[in-house]
Amino acid sequence: MEIAKVHPIYDTIRRRRDVRSEFTGEAIPAATLRRILEAAHCAPSVGLSQPWDFVVVAGAGTRRIFQEHVAAERKCFGDSLPADLATVFKSIKVEGIMESSVGIVVTYDPTRGGPHVLGRHAIDDAGLYSTCLAIQNLWLAATAEQCGVGWVSFYREAFVQQLLELPTEVRPVAWLCVGPVSRFQDTPDLERLRWQQRRPIDEAIHFERW
């Protein structure tokens, strides 16, 4: 049976891409943005702590400052590469900050839920994990709405924290470029541009033990 016929979610999961170049720059309708953020907010969280927040950055000024920071970090990474990888890296676009419609910065607050978060006493990172689950809900909802998401990770957390005036305890987890796209690529950029190949799934599945 064709997998999308089993359930339409499989089609969304397969079409989802980490978008850099296909943003149209059109505005996201307010109701669409709301649905996408509600989807994120529906994610599971350790002890029902919901430790995430969403900062929607539309202003060109803030985005441009962030973009300059990202450009410097891109150079820093590029300079660290051996020559062959550096050549491949040159052709790779790492962000669509200005071309997308908005930035959505997803943050993690470890103090949310107070001192007794159920399920976090043994695993300190569990709240960080919850925040990422919200990000994936957001990403899939956006894909279903024909909006692209591009996760930018060429930045220093302290820079974003200061730029967006986050409280000291709040940590930025992702800067997501979001907006309508002309299309989703069939193949991930990094595979198409020969940075990395996808791993066969059978290598990732183990039974009973490693």
Q: Which is nearer to its own copies, 28 or 46 (CB)?
A: 46
Q: Which is nearer to its own copies, 99 or 134 (CB)?
A: 134
Place of tokens 């930035």: 103
Q: Which is nearer to its own copies, 140 or 178 (CB)?
A: 140
Residue 151 gets which letter from DSSP?
E
Amino acid at position 127, single letter: G
Minimum Å gap between C-beta 124 and its own copies is: 10
Helix (H, G, I), strand (E, B), or coil: what is residue 23?
strand
Residues whose CB falls within 8 Å of the CB of residue 180, separated by 6 or more in sequence, listed in order: 23, 24, 26, 28, 101, 146, 147, 148
Residues whose CB falls within 8 Å of the CB of residue 197, separated by 6 or more in sequence, listed in order: 191
**What torsion do the CA atoms of 93, 148, 18, 210 make, to the nearest 10 degrees?**
170
Q: Which is nearer to its own copies, 63 or 99 (CB)?
A: 63
Minimum Å gap between C-beta 182 and its own copies is: 19
Minimum Å gap between C-beta 28 and its own copies is: 13
